[in-house]
Amino acid sequence: MLLIHRMLATRAFRLVGSRALSTSICLRGGHGVAKVEDYALPAYFDRRESPLPDIKYVQQLSPDQTSLKEKEKGSWAALSKEEKISLYRISFKESFAEMENGTGEWKSVVAGVFFFMGFTGLVVLWQRKYVYGDVPHTFDPEYKQKEVQRMLDMRINPVEGFSAKWDYEKNTWKK
Amino acid sequence: MTMSLTKPAMRGLLAKRLRFHLPIAFGLSLIAAIAFKYAVTEPRNKAYADFYKQYDATKEFNAMKEAGIFESVRPSGE
């Protein structure tokens, strides 16, 4: 009984790459081992950096595909163009050109960014009305005027900056 | 596919790139420095020179004193 089980297990492992393994329980040495999960098996993925995935894309071949695979064992020159393409599509899901194509996802991302910026604007406006208190008295126009006058009296930046723009003879801003 | 491809350059790649890009880099930096000197520092120096050519320190001091900004010396009125 044990020998049969071990033989079945080794036979099963030789079929690596076949999805039929996914729900079987592996018995080795008479002990029950954890069920082999889907994610633990070799997977198929289209990626530029690893062009040959671990398994073929199509696992269960239809009768047409099986017969095509038989034909593939002969001379490849005998295959028609459509047959070659079918063989390719059995092994691979997307061609390099197809997998490199952009998804247009950036449009959704930009749209989301703008939306949340707008929402934040609304939040800021609400805050200004309902959360913040008054500004200090130093922002009053009269106070600001006295501030400017004092800065001119002190000759702040008289060469190229603030006071340089003031005409002290005519007591007005320079044109 | 029967003829063999030419062997690509295996060495001296960085030297080749530097030979091309370094003179350009130095040239552009030099131009930037010269442009900054004549667009920014020259006008600034001239502005300061012109300002101080006609500057009367005593007159300015008295004007500021009358405006009342000093604490050590008050305007003549007070």
pLDDT, tens only, A36-58: 888 888 888 888 888 888 888 88
Average pLDDT estimate for A142-157: 96
Reported as half-sphere exposure (CB side, CA atoms, 13 A), residue A25 has a value of 7
Confidence at A22, pLDDT banded by 50, 70, 90: very low
pLDDT, tens only, A108-141: 999 999 999 999 999 999 999 999 999 999 999 9
Residue tagged 């667009």 (tokens): B39
CB contact under 8 A, A153 and B68: yes
Closest CA to A152 of A137, A136, A134, A165: A165
A12 has pLDDT over 90: no
What residues in B contact A150, CB-CB < 8 Å?
A: 69
pLDDT at A20: 47
What interface predicted TM-score (ipTM) does this complex get? Answer: 0.74
B2 has pLDDT over 80: no
Query: What chain B residue is nearest to A156 in terms of C-alpha separation?
Result: B64
Confidence at A17, pLDDT banded by 50, 70, 90: very low
Q: Which of A12-16, A88-92, B25-29 tops mean pLDDT?
A: B25-29
Kindly provide the b/e burial profile for residues A100-125, where b requires at least 16 CB atoms within 10 angstroms of the residue's own CB: eeeeeeeeeeeeeeeeeeeeeeeeee
Least confident segment among A14-28, A75-89, A144-158: A14-28
Q: Which of B47, B64, B69 sits opposite A160 (nearest CB)?
A: B47
For chains A and B, CB pairs below 8 A equal 17
DSSP code of residue A150: H
Chain A contact residues (CB < 8 Å to B): 150, 153-155, 158-160, 168
pLDDT, tens only, B47-61: 999 999 999 999 999
Mutant choice from A146, A148, A153 vs B, greatest count of B C-beta within 10 A: A153
Mutant choice from B65, B66, B69, B74 vs A, greatest count of A C-beta within 10 A: B69
